[in-house]
């Protein structure tokens, strides 16, 4: 199994900075635990950090290569993958595809808005019908309460009638 990955170069400044930070952390651990040489480790680690910061202050930055948009959007080039020229219209073609996509998104948003409005209308209608049903159920419950009360009254009169005849 061969690896074609490019490995980055080891940056000596970054290495020294990391080493200094590690010494400071180990020195902090020694200090927390009360072990010997904690002060020396702090002095060594912080000195390394100070030197790295001093060196990095004079470090020159290389200009980054401009981003290659044609690698992200192949429509921007006039070449095929094999290097042959093609007449794709490049930028104009990409922009027309972008405009087409925006048009489709806009239509989708309009359809979704209409659907949400329809759902909202249905929910309002259902809420109204639910309120009407609740009112009807309250009236029904009141009528059933009256019916039960009347039936009790009739049963009491009937029981009185039966008991008086004995």
pLDDT of residue 6: 61
The SS3 assignment for 79 reads: strand
Measured distance CA(66)–CA(95) in Å, rounded? 21
Give the pLDDT band of residue 106 (cuts 50, 70, 90).
very high
Mean pLDDT of 54-72: 75
Residue among 25, 26, 22, 20 at smallest CA distance from 55:
20
> What are the CA-CA distances from residue 27 to residues 14, 37, 48, 118, 151 (Å)?
20, 8, 13, 68, 92
Domain residue ranges of the chain, discontinuous segments joined by +:
11-57, 105-157
Residue 124 pLDDT greater than 80, yes or no: yes
For the stretch 128-153, pLDDT in tens is: 999 999 999 999 999 999 999 999 99
Residue among 61, 91, 50, 98 at smallest CA distance from 74:
91
Measured distance CA(41)–CA(21) in Å, rounded? 11
101/62: higher pLDDT: 101
pLDDT of residue 70: 73
Residue 85 pLDDT greater than 60, yes or no: no
What angle, 0 to 180 degrees and rounded to 10, lies between the N-to-C axes of helices 12-33 and 38-57?
Answer: 150
Mean pLDDT of 96-112: 92
pLDDT of residue 128: 92
User: What's the pTM value of the predicted model, to 2 decimals?
Assistant: 0.34
Q: At a CB cut-off of 8 Å and minimum separation 6, what does 39 contact? A: 27, 31
Look over the chain and give the mean of its residue pLDDT values, rounded to a whole number.
Answer: 83
Give the pLDDT band of residue 63 (cuts 50, 70, 90).
low
pLDDT of residue 5: 57
Residue 87 pLDDT greater than 60, yes or no: no
């Amino acid at each position: 199994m061969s690896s074609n990955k490019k490995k980055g170069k080891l940056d000596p400044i970054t290495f020294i900075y990391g080493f200094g930070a590690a010494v400071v952390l180990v020195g902090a651990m020694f200090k927390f635990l009360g072990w010997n040489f904690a002060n020396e480790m702090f002095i060594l680690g912080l000195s390394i950090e100070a030197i790295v910061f001093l060196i990095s202050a004079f470090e020159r930055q290389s200009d980054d290569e401009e981003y290659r948009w044609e690698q992200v959007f192949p429509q921007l080039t006039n070449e095929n993958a094999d290097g042959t020229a093609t007449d794709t219209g490049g930028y104009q073609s990409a922009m027309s595809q972008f405009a087409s996509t925006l048009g489709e998104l806009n239509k989708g948003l309009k359809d979704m808005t209409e659907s949400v409005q329809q759902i909202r209308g249905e929910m309002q209608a259902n809420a109204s019908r639910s309120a009407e049903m609740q009112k009807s159920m309250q009236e029904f419950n009141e009528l059933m309460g009256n019916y039960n009360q009347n039936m009790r009254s009739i049963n009491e009169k009937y029981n009185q009638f039966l008991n008086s005849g004995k």
